Structure 1
Amino acid sequence: MTQPSSLAIVAGAGAGLGQSLLSRFEVEGMTAVGLGRTRPINPIGTFLEIDLADAEATSLAIAELIAQHGPPKIVVHNTAELVIAPFEKTSLNDYQRTWTSMVQSLVILGQSVLQPMVTGGGGTLIVTGATASLRGGARFSAFASAKFALRGLTQSLAREFQPAGIHVAHVILDGIIDTTRSRDLHDLDPSKMMKPEAIAEAYWQLAQQPPSTWTHELDLRPASEGF
């Protein structure tokens, strides 16, 4: 009898890194499921259109996935809401949107997957961070405040769930990911941008670490990036 493949969930599985992660997990024979508000063109694996800040819809969708495939072995939180504006022009709604998109969605995702993962024997939760997770920049007050909160939440989850067998990692992406959209927005040499498939490989390697040497925080950047 054929054994079912392990489940991998990517929350925030849009074009670029999200789809590259799903592709990497599929290569390993995993059942790759992407979650997000907007369906990419020709999505990889299974894609569920869902507002990840909607607690009821998200928890129901994940419960159905677990019922069908078992608890996930890899879960990636990859949502973002970028607001760039001077402080006096950043509305309260801007702050609420960034927090809802990044922090609230991780709360909902974590409450949906972590206990089933513990019961299922362990797994890996990876949270995508950014330079703004460590340093607040001018005109990035909304984005940075949410990324700081996301980092703190991830640390708390690591300290609570790693003793129960869940590897929780926070990855700081210090650079611009090479996508069609980012090339349109930024006048950069593509060789100085972060390749989504290379980031996906780093995430996969994190998920393969033995419990004796778990990385909690990893920073990734192009060789040309100053830091």
Structure 2
Amino acid sequence: MTAKKPLALVAGAGAGLGQSLLARLQAGGMTAVGLGRTKPDHTVGAFHTLDLSDADATSGTIADLIAAHGPPKIVVHNTAELVIAPFTETTLADYQRTWTSMVQTLIILAQSVMQPMVRGGGGALIVSGATASLRGGARFSAFASAKFALRGLTQSLAREYQPAGVHVAHVILDGIIDTARSRDVHTLDPAKMMKPEDIAEAYWQIAHQPPSAWCHEIDLRPASEGF
């Protein structure tokens, strides 16, 4: 009997980093499955279109995947909702939208995968953060407040599940990711942007760190980026 390939999930598997993550996971011999609100025109591996803030839809889809493939060994939370506006023009709905997109989705995702991962012998949960996870900038109050909350939630999950064999890591992406959309929006030289495939490789390495030397938080940025 052919052994099943280990399951890997990417929540927020849009064009750019999400698809690069799926490609790296698949290249590593895993069954790579993307989850997200909008399916990209070209996707690597399987993709399930769903609202990740919907607890019933998300938990049901993940339960079906676990039934078919076994508990996931690598799970990546990569959702984001960017709001940039002066504080007086940032509505309560903007705050609720950023929290729902980033914090609520991680709560639902973790509730769906953590216990199965523990029962399956462990694995890795990696959460994508940003510069705003550490520093709230002007006009970024909605985004930064949600990213701060996401970081705190990730720390709590790490402290609760690390002893049970699940490596929980928070990755601060301090730079602009090189995508077709970012090239349209930013005037920055693409050579100074973060390459999605390089970030995906870093995530792969984090997921395979030996238990005697796990990191919880790491920051990634281009060599040209000041900090």
Give aligned pairs, total: 227
Render the CA deviation track for 1:71-127: whole Å, top value 9, x for unaligned. Answer: 000000000000000000000000000000000000000000000000000000000
Shift of 1:148: 0.1
Equivalences for residues 3-22 of structure 1 within 5 A? 3-22=3-22
Match of 1:222 in 2: 222
Instruction: Name the aligned partner's letter for residue 128 of structure 2.
Output: T
Match of 2:198 in 1: 198
Equivalences for residues 175-190 of structure 1 within 5 A? 175-190=175-190
SS in 2 for 1:52: coil
Match of 1:113 in 2: 113
Match of 2:96 in 1: 96
Shift of 1:61: 0.1
SS in 2 for 1:167: strand
Shift of 1:42: 1.5
Match of 2:33 in 1: 33
Equivalences for residues 135-150 of structure 1 within 5 A? 135-150=135-150
SS in 1 for 2:9: strand
Q: Percent identity?
A: 79
Shift of 1:58: 0.1
SS in 2 for 1:104: helix
CA distance, structure 2, for counterparts of residue 20 and residue 178 of structure 1: 11
- Give me the TM-score of the superposition, normalised by structure 1: 1.00
User: Structure 1: which 5+ runs fail to align?
Assistant: none
SS in 1 for 2:94: helix
Match of 2:151 in 1: 151
Render the CA deviation track for 1:193-221: whole Å, top value 9, x for unaligned. Answer: 00000000000000110110001000000
Shift of 1:29: 1.1
SS in 1 for 2:169: strand
Match of 2:43 in 1: 43
CA distance, structure 1, for counterparts of residue 97 and residue 175 of structure 2: 23
SS in 1 for 2:209: coil
1:70 aligns with 2:41: no
Match of 1:123 in 2: 123
SS in 1 for 2:153: helix
Shift of 1:2: 0.5
Shift of 1:161: 0.2
